């Protein structure tokens, strides 16, 4: 059925110049349409006030079309994505991105639509978005969704501003000042709470990986505006005390925010809405198969419970959502956009949402359906625990926090022992993985695990590759215990070797653009 | 359940191997830690409306999407809509580079050695954009122009600690303004508006009256929302600086083929929409938020977003790249970070790098000229229609301008509906944000609106107004 073979990997290595260093005078890469004679005659010249006319053309390269294609093709050959092999970055859910999603998202009947087009002209698109809203509400167990936010963190900011507005409308803003986050939280959580004007209060995790409820009790107070957590946590563990936590927070009229980055671990088994969360964001680019594009774009829809906000019950949490919500008028069989309404927090970006990733995610859910999504979760959890079970047996690695508890979407492995005994760190391990043609796990996160290797294979990794990955980690461990110096030379099979980060960050040598580089090297 | 093509281990054989390794008999054992009262019953989940409940084939999915999208109305020309997002032709090369899986399916380049190509592409975006804007430092992208503006305003409050006022023009894009208001909602800050002159551009004496030592920033959009060119940008920047405020400019990058670069106009921070540079309008997303600053340590420390820097390998022998100044970012600084942004619009940034490389300095200038010509041709033609006013303001415009229909005796909504019946989509109705303009709409023209398209618009309007 399967055979483990030795992995040999050499990444392409082109000494590819910068685009600025390619090409020559007079070359062009694209013919731009020009106005015809008649248009020129009628307009009779360009009249821009002298003061505001561009004096010097921008210093852009002059390259032919083929040079552009070759240049960027070579750059792609020195990059690595899910299409190349496993990218088990924990918390990032780097699953296979089904290509049918691209076909849908890049359909010219979508790509050429302007965001301010009349609703009557975009009924087809609105129908898909309407369904997506409904499906996401059902997946999360919430009542109302906005597809407006552009990413997970954008969704978090949305959620925190909704929380703020909720307390504002209840006249409690002068009291409700704090957002509680666990110490295992993703950096965007405290950053989003802080951008929304809240003070961040951290709670520790217990050795079983759950939030320490006793510690939580000491920080929950009248000042608590809300709590942000992800469940399963960034340790890949289901938060077992969620019922108690929910009660505690709601007892002081705080709102529960669900960071949906880890939804891949629970679909079909439980839902944030069932667990008592009031607000949740979803990372379409994690759970629902749209690609990460080297750092974006993504989409971060936010769903809320139909919670009453004010006394006469005329305002609901859903009324606070930002952006435009697709509604359906059954009588006229017509879809239309609503919002942002009177109580909405407004807009977080100029227009509807990130349609490309949203339609990709729509296609993903469409093809899998409820049952397929549960299969996704089951297989992701199986893969995680299979890897956890194997890596446990490799010298130098351990799985701290709730050691014997099953993991969900991911597992955080610690290389602390390896580091203490051999000096080979999580960073070195990561580089050793690159050398075998694998992407590394997320390292040094969550902050509460020493020498962390946060690993998430997702449901789309093959068993063969997980075996090879473990095999490579075993080799790395062996090298560490026999010849640790070797480990510090890794990687050697990638396009370049280890990077000089000090030079990159030093004020004297820092070069965030080509022009600054030229300035500094000329001196 | 049947195996699924996206889930390679979803066969009985593979599941058996895994379950044996784990010593479990049923998958359910891995979910026992979820308290029973929170568990959703199998049947209940299976019957939720999520997709078609069961997995379906790719062909069936495609048919469904295809049939749904056929409900979109086919128009005779690209809509004459702008307002921050513009239809510009996307060269085939751009799309084909974006389709390369090594970029498309990769994550943020946390492992620089294996992602050097992606980092170079992002560095090139930062560098090309810096040349276009004549600014020193550009981040690897924000979500869009609106959110970049919100972040720029927040940044100005950090840089100018204690100041509580930001001045914006009446002609700031109203959508961006709404976004900025949302970003500023938690902060005790006032947005103070400055009106326009008969040229449709910022009223400088009003600015001088309103600016004071409380002002953290002055924002100027060029061309402004109504399409007019802010001739006195330098003076506006000087006034801001005289009062110790930052000068923030918002730009439409295509216009910079003709208009002076914001770096030459004294801008401290520049924001803008990168979508016109190689991205589809795509009903408003994904877009590309441009964020640039002058090379100033204080500004740099407060800048939001990711930055890629040029460096070398440790042995100093080869060029390489690194994510720099990460201590500003959320994954290191958490609640003290300059922003919460994590996932950004990296692939959009690469698209505009490819686009700017293809066009080069001459292509960009020509493109700006064609946009200018098409819009001015349209203005001449439209102004010949009875009762149609195209010169509400006397200032120079780039490729967009307001058209007033008050003297036709018609409401714009009615005109718009009638145009739509003829397969033509007119401009953005202005009555909501600019009631003083009456029955007006903002019409935009790019290289994609050919003379024939414009003639069609004019003919259709003539019919509508005569009918
Ligand atoms: C747990 C967690 N929360 C939030 C985020 C932020 O999401 P995004 O990168 O889409 O802004 C991430 C992803 O990086 C994450 O892993």
Query: Per residue in B166-209, pLDDT tens?
Result: 999 999 999 999 999 999 999 999 999 999 999 999 999 999 99
Q: How many angstroms separate the CA atoms of B467 and B462, rounded?
A: 8
Which residues of chain A register pLDDT less than 70? 1-7
Per the CB < 8 A criterion, the answer to whether B217 and B245 are in contact is yes
State the average pLDDT over residues B231-250.
Answer: 98
The answer to whether A352 contacts B285, with C-beta atoms less than 8 Å apart, is yes
- Residue B360 CA, chain-centre distance (Å), reads 22
d(CA B436, CA A84): 57
pLDDT of residue A6: 61
Ligand 1 centroid – CA B312 distance (Å) = 30
What percent of the residues of chain A are helix, what percent strand, and what percent coil, each to the nearest 5? 40, 10, 50
Q: What is the pLDDT of residue A1?
A: 43
Catalogue all structural domains in chain B, each as residue range(s) with its CATH number.
12-69 (no CATH), 92-355 (3.40.640.10), 361-466 (3.90.1150.10)
Contact B303/A512 with Cβ under 8 angstroms? no
* b/e burial code for range A236-253 (CB count within 10 A of at least 16 → b): bbbbbbbeebbebbeeeb
Contact map slice: B 281-340 vs A, CB within 8 A = 281-287, 295, 297, 306-316, 318-322, 324-325, 329-337, 339-340
Reference A210, options A51, A401, A392; nearest CA is A401
Residue among B467, B466, B419 nearest B441 (CA):
B419
Rounded to a whole number of angstroms, the distance from the CA of B152 to the nearest CA of chain A is 13
List Cα–Cα distances, A13 to A16, A84, A324, B319, in angstroms.
Answer: 8, 16, 46, 12
Measure CB to CB from residue B377 to each of A39, A125, A128 and give the nearest one. A39
B121 touches chain A (CB under 8 A): yes
Chain B 372-431, residues with CB within 8 Å of chain A CB atoms: 372-374, 376-377, 380-381, 396, 416, 420, 425, 428
- Select the residue of B51, B311, B377 nearest A43 (Cβ to Cβ): B377
Pocket test for ligand 1, best of A93, A181, A186, A458 (most atoms within 8 A of CB): A186
Q: Which of A15, A79, A263, A492 to mutate to test the interface with B (most CBs of B within 10 A)?
A: A79
Contact A92 B55 (CB under 8 A): no
Do A298 and B343 count as a contact with CB atoms less than 8 A apart? yes
The CA distances from residue B136 to B131, B132, B158, B295, in Å, are 8, 10, 20, 5
The residues facing B400 across adjacent strands are B444
pLDDT digits (tens, 9 = 90+) for B347-385: 999 999 999 999 999 999 999 999 999 999 999 999 999
Distance A131 CA to ligand 1 centre (A): 24
Asked if B75 and A121 touch (Cβ cutoff 8 Å), the reply is: yes
Report the nearest-CA residue for atom 12 of ligand 1.
A261
Give the per-residue pLDDT at A16.
97
Q: Which chain A residues are closer than 8 Å to B287 by Cβ?
A: 349-351
Q: What is the pLDDT of residue A5?
A: 53
Query: How many other CB atoms are there within 10 angstroms of residue B251's CB atom?
Result: 25
Is there a contact between B179 and A347 if contact means CB atoms under 8 Å apart? yes
Q: Which element (helix H / strand E) includes B461? A: helix B451-466
Dihedral pair phi/psi, residue B165, rounded to 5°: -140, 140
Q: How do residues B310-336 score in pLDDT, each as one tens digit?
A: 999 999 999 999 999 998 989 888 998
E strand map for A265-389? 279-281, 302-304, 325-329, 334-338
Kindly state the DSSP code that residue A493 receives in the 8-state scheme: S
User: Which residues contact ligand 1 via a Cβ below 6 A?
Assistant: A 91, 151-153, 186, 188, 230, 234, 259, 261, 283, 298, 300; B 342-343
A514-522 vs B116-133: helix crossing angle, rounded to 10: 90
Radius of gyration of chain B, Cα coordinates, nearest whole angstrom: 26
Instruction: Identify the structural domains of chain A with CATH numbers, from first to last.
Output: 25-73 (no CATH), 102-362 (3.40.640.10)
Residue A227: φ, ψ to 5°: -130, 140
Backbone angles phi, psi at A169, to 5 degrees: -65, -20
Looking at the DSSP bridge assignments, the partners of residue A414 are A398, A452
Tell me the pTM.
0.98
């Amino acid at each position: 059925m399967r055979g483990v073979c030795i992995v040999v990997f050499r990444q392409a290595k082109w000494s590819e110049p910068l685009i600025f260093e390619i090409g020559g005078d007079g070359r062009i890469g694209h013919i731009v349409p020009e106005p015809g004679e008649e248009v020129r005659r009628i307009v009779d010249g360009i009249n821009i006030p002298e003061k505001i006319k561009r004096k010097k053309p921008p210093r852009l390269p002059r390259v032919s079309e083929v040079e552009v294609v070759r240049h960027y093709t070579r750059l792609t050959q020195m990059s690595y994505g899910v299409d190349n092999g496993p990218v088990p970055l924990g918390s990032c859910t780097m699953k296979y991105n089904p290509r049918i999603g691209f076909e849908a998202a890049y359909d010219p009947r979508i790509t050429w639509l302007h965001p301010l087009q009349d609703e009557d002209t975009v009924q087809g698109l609105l129908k898909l978005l309407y369904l997506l809203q409904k499906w996401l509400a059902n997946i999360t167990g919430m009542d109302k969704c906005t597809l407006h936010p552009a990413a997970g963190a954008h969704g978090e900011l949305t959620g925190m501003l909704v929380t703020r507005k909720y307390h504002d409308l209840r006249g409690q803003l002068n009291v409700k000042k704090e957002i509680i986050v666990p110490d295992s939280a993703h950096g965007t959580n405290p950053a989003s709470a802080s951008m929304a004007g809240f003070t961040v209060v951290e709670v520790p995790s217990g050795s079983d990986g759950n939030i320490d409820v006793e510690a939580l009790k000491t920080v929950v107070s009248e000042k608590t505006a809300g709590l942000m957590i992800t469940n399963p946590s960034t340790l890949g563990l289901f938060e077992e005390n969620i019922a108690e936590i929910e009660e505690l927070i709601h007892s002081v009229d705080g709102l529960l925010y669900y960071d949906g980055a880890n939804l891949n671990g629970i679909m079909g088994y439980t839902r944030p809405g069932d667990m008592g969360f009031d607000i949740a964001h979803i990372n379409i680019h994690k759970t629902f198969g749209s690609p990460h594009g080297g750092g974006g774009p993504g989409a971060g829809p936010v769903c809320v419970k139909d919670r009453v906000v004010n006394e006469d019950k005329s305002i609901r949490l859903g009324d606070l959502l930002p952006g435009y919500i697709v509604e359906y008028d059954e009588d006229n069989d017509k879809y239309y956009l609503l919002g942002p309404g009177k109580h909405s927090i407004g807009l977080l970006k100029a227009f509807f949402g990130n349609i490309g990733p949203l339609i990709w995610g729509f296609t993903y859910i469409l093809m899998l359906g409820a049952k397929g999504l549960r299969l996704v979760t089951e297989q992701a959890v199986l893969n995680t625990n299979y890897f956890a079970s194997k890596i446990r047996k490799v010298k130098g690695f351990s799985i701290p926090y709730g050691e014997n508890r099953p993991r969900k979407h991911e597992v955080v492995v610690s290389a602390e022992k390896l580091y203490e005994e051999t000096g080979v760190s999580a960073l070195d391990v990561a580089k050793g993985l690159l050398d075998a043609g694998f992407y590394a796990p997320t390292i040094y996160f969550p902050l509460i695990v020493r020498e962390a290797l946060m690993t998430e294979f997702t449901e789309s990794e093959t068993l063969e590759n997980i075996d090879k990955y473990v095999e490579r980690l075993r080799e790395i461990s062996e090298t560490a215990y026999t010849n640790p110096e070797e480990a510090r030379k890794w990687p050697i099979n990638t396009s370049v070797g280890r990077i000089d980060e000090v030079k990159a960050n030093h004020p004297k040598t820092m070069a965030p653009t080509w022009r600054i580089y030229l300035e500094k090297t000329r001196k | 359940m049947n195996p699924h093509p996206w889930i390679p281990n979803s066969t009985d054989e593979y599941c058996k191997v895994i379950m044996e390794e784990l010593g479990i008999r049923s998958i359910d054992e891995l979910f026992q830690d979820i308290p029973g009262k929170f568990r959703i019953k199998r049947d209940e989940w299976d019957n939720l409306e999520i997709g078609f409940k069961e997995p379906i084939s790719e062909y069936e999915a495609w048919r469904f999407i295809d049939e749904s999208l056929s409900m979109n109305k086919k128009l005779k020309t690209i809509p004459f809509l702008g307002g921050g997002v513009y239809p510009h032709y996307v060269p085939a090369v751009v799309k084909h580079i974006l389709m390369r899986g090594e970029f498309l399916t990769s994550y943020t380049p946390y492992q620089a050695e294996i992602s050097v190509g992606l980092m170079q592409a992002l560095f090139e975006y930062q560098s090309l954009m810096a040349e276009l804007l004549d600014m020193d430092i550009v981040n690897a992208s924000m979500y869009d122009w609106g959110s970049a503006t919100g972040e720029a305003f927040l940044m100005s409050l950090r840089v100018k600690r204690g100041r509580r006022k930001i001045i914006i023009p009446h002609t700031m894009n109203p959508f961006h303004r709404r976004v900025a208001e949302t970003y500023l909602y938690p902060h005790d800050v006032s947005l103070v508006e400055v009106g326009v002159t008969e040229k449709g551009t910022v009223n400088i004496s009003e600015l001088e009256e309103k600016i004071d030592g409380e002002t953290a920033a002055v924002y100027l959009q060029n061309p402004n929302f109504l399409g007019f060119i802010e001739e006195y940008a330098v003076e506006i920047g000087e006034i801001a600086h005289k009062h110790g405020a930052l000068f923030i400019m918002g730009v439409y990058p295509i216009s910079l083929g003709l208009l002076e670069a914001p770096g030459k106009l004294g801008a401290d921070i520049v924001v803008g929409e990168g979508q016109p540079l190689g991205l589809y309008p795509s009903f408003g997303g994904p877009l590309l938020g441009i964020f640039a600053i002058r090379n100033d340590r204080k500004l740099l420390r407060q800048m939001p977003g990711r930055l890629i820097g040029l460096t070398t390998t440790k042995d100093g022998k080869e060029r390489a790249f690194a994510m720099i100044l990460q201590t500003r970012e959320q994954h290191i600084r958490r609640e003290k970070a300059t922003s919460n942004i994590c996932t950004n619009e990296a692939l959009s940034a690469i698209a505009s790098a490819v686009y700017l490389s293809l066009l080069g300095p001459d292509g960009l200038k020509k493109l700006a000229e064609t946009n200018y010509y098409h819009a001015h041709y349209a203005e001449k033609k439209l102004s010949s229609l009875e009762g149609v006013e195209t010169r509400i303001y006397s200032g120079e415009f780039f490729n967009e301008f307001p058209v007033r229909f008050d003297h036709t005796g018609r409401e714009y909504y009615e005109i718009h509906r009638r145009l739509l019946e003829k397969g033509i989509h007119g401009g953005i109705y202005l009555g909501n944000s600019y009631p003083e303009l009456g029955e007006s709409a903002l019409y935009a023209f790019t290289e994609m609106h050919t003379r024939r398209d414009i003639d069609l618009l004019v003919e259709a309007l003539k019919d509508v107004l005569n009918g």
